[in-house]
Amino acid sequence: MFDDRSILVTGGTGSFGRKFIRTLLARHKPRRVVVFSRDELKQYEMQQEFDAPCMRYFLGDVRDRERLVQAVRGVDYVVHAAALKQVPAAEYNPTECIRTNVSGAENVIHAAIENGVQKVIALSTDKAASPVNLYGATKLLSDKLFVAANNITGNHATRFAVVRYGNVVGSRGSVVPFFRKLIADGAQDLPITDARMTRFWITLQQGVEFVMAGFERMYGGELFVPKIPSVRIVDLAKAMAPQLPHRIVGIRPGEKLHELMISRDDSLHTLEFPDHYVICPSIRFVENRDYARNGRGERGTPAAAGFKYSSDINPHFLGTEEILRLNAVS
């Protein structure tokens, strides 16, 4: 699907962007791969590793609509991964988070339609479902913008979809590298926000695979949610350092005890597939689309009444061996 195509990744120098591009180059022969990000040092470092003839590097910010329109010219597919995503930082700097996550989403939509991009997938987060923090609220707004964008494309063929998943094992700013550093530095205990806390758990590679599959599955308007395991934070700490005691430090600003990916209200519009869910748009589009059969030919069925997909009632919780195995590939 990606052979002889041009692909742009916003936030392309981040954890996801690097893994996505590494996988893309290993499996396909794209015509052009555009890394769009605002950090010149990260772009310089990335150029040392990703120097294939198809690679292009654009300095720019998703807040800058004009620059984004320039970068997207001639692009077939866009992966929108750029975001401000640290929950406590967003609580203290709300306007900056809104400018990047909401205004940036509007600019990506505008640039894609303006340039006749074929497909756009925006990355979301479990924190966007019934959000209690500003980061989650901005990503919910972003999700709504991308879904609704399918109604404003006019004669353009551009289609938009969203991928929502949970905590990425080992990503920058996440708990696994934080614990690793404490253990390596000889910590006497591991700080735990709350012993009851649970999180959805996915590796970076699994996230990349799910996004790539999304381009094949999508018609436009879907919100894709993978079926992934949960982890108890105390189990994670015990697996990484069974010899260390735990110190309860309290929940950080904006945090939840448990994460939610599909609420009971969203379940009314949710289809269940063998390895994922699809939240169908609640608004009507000009075109009638049968979301129960996706672009891969996979078939889904309506979710059970009152269904919700929450990290504390997930049927699959990771044990010690699974935690260590996933941590090893992060």
User: d(Cα 160, Cα 112) in Å, to the nearest integer?
Assistant: 9
CB 6 within 8 A of CB 35: no
CB 124 within 8 A of CB 164: yes
User: d(Cα 282, Cα 69) in Å, to the nearest integer?
Assistant: 29
CB 102 within 8 A of CB 140: no
User: d(Cα 12, Cα 71) in Å, to the nearest integer?
Assistant: 13
- The catalytic residue positions are 127
